[in-house]
Amino acid sequence: MDSNEFRDWSRRAADWGADYRDTVRDRPVRPRVTPGSIQHSVEASPPEQAEPMEAIFADFEAKIMPGMTHWQHPRFFAYFPANAARVSVIAEYLVTAVAAQCMLWQTSPAATELETKMIDWLRQALGLPEGFSGVIQDSASSATLAAVLTMRERALGWEGNSKGLSGQKRLRVYCSNQVHTSIDRAIWVAGIGDENLVRIPTAGALRSMDMAALEAAIRADKEAGMQPAGIIACVGGTSTGGTDDIAAVADIARRHGLYLHVDAAWAGSAMICPEYRHFWAGIEKADSIVFNPHKWLGASFDCSIQFVRDPESHVRTLAIKPEYLKTHGHDGIINYSEWTVTLGRRFRALKLWFLMRAHGLEGLRTMIRNHVAWSVALAERLRNEPDFEIVTEPMLSLFSFRHRAPQGVDADEHNLRLVNAINDDGFIYLTQTRVEDRVAIRFQVGQFDATREDVEAAFDAIVQTARRLA
């Protein structure tokens, strides 16, 4: 591809992207395809000779797009959002065009220094105190792994990386039963082992860790000769929005000398609104925090922020400095590859810079406040229907509900049929969960372009489908 072709196809791709965003509301949220159909439409072997871009782009539209779930659809109410505000997409065009490797200051000085500034902009936006620094990770999974590795090293006197875990005391990490499965994976990868992830029972409307049970578990493990290493608390858990009492957890962590990591991957974005910060009161006592601007704030995936209170411990755990990665002649610079498990790094800070300047914090706050208000209103409408029940109350813009099954029909089976029927229709997209081992249907508002009308239309889709099944 020469320069003229590159220019032409770049324009055509940008035009296609704008047209896609303009028409995505008219598409079914989830594709109506069967497993294997896309794979079977693609040639079995790679081409020996170059093919024209016209043919490649035509196949993209004919073979790939019919099999895509539309995460930017305004009626995407499943999982959590993976927003990509239009301005963030433009920033990604530029990042892709420049195609820089941003692992060190010297390999992309502007990327490193803008990352430092964006971390501090977000620290201020979320109301975190001065003293927190941080790094842009690819996802919350990577941030949590970095936190678990740091708590492991600190508990082992910084000998885990050098000597391994063999012969050491069994490490123990504590969390609730509401945390994301990324915590399980971090425990596996860090070599701590699933048996040493201690799940503390939860209580109350927010499904918070039971503090007495947490304290008892730590003391029992110490008496048994094991080594408590850290606690992973949750603000806005994936299933139903489970949220721990961060201040109380932090007090226990400090009393026992444990590292505290807070997973606020989804709900953290809402903390740009001061009225929601009570959900993580005490957050200033955490050792590290993760939240994903690529979920609710509008930054395109991937873009996860890990704040750390003690960067020295974090870097001491992760930094490797062979000669070829040293920056000579400069002191006090930051090489963010020393803050992450991966060496290679994308220029993720640019989309945050574009996003916050183009929308302003107040514009982003308005979006989040609207989503919360619309979700609460929908929960109330469903509550007032005689054949529906609210299972978990709204936590920000997330709640769960259940439809009462006809007499003689298993309730779990009925609600699974309901969510599948809703999704097969394609007008909206929802996901299910389990609450106290019973099926419930999750609903969350978070898509960047969603409107009040989109949320209100979801009510009709849910109720009409439920009554048709019943």
CB distance 442 to 390 below 8 Å: no
Phi/psi at 176 (5° precision): -90, 180
Residue 174 annotated as catalytic: no
Looking at residue 387, what DSSP letter applies? T
Calpha distance 387→462 (Å, rounded):
12
Question: Whose CA is closest to 266, among 79, 69, 75, 428?
Answer: 79
Name 100's Cβ contacts closer than 8 Å, sequence gap at least 6. Answer: 107, 108, 111, 347
Looking at residue 429, what DSSP letter applies? B
Calpha distance 126→129 (Å, rounded):
9
CB distance 286 to 306 below 8 Å: no
Q: Which two tokens stand for residue 290?
A: 């993760």
Calpha distance 133→418 (Å, rounded):
46
Is the backbone peptide bond immediately before 302 cis, with ω within 30 degrees of 0? yes
Place of tokens 């201020």: 124
Could you tell me if residue 40 is left (phi over 0), alpha (psi between -120 and 50 degrees) or otherwise beta?
alpha
CB distance 276 to 270 below 8 Å: yes
Host H or E run for residue 232: strand 227-234
CB distance 302 to 138 below 8 Å: yes
Q: How big is the chain by its Cα radius of gyration, in Å?
A: 24
Q: Which residues pair with 150 in a beta bridge?
A: none
Residue 241's alpha-carbon distances to 142, 177, 338, in angstroms, are 21, 12, 32
Pairing status of strand 388-395 against strand 398-403: antiparallel
Catalytic residue among 20, 174, 324, 336: 324
Q: Which two tokens stand for residue 456?
A: 């209100």
- Dmax (CA) for the chain in angstroms is 77
Q: Which residues are catalytic?
A: 324
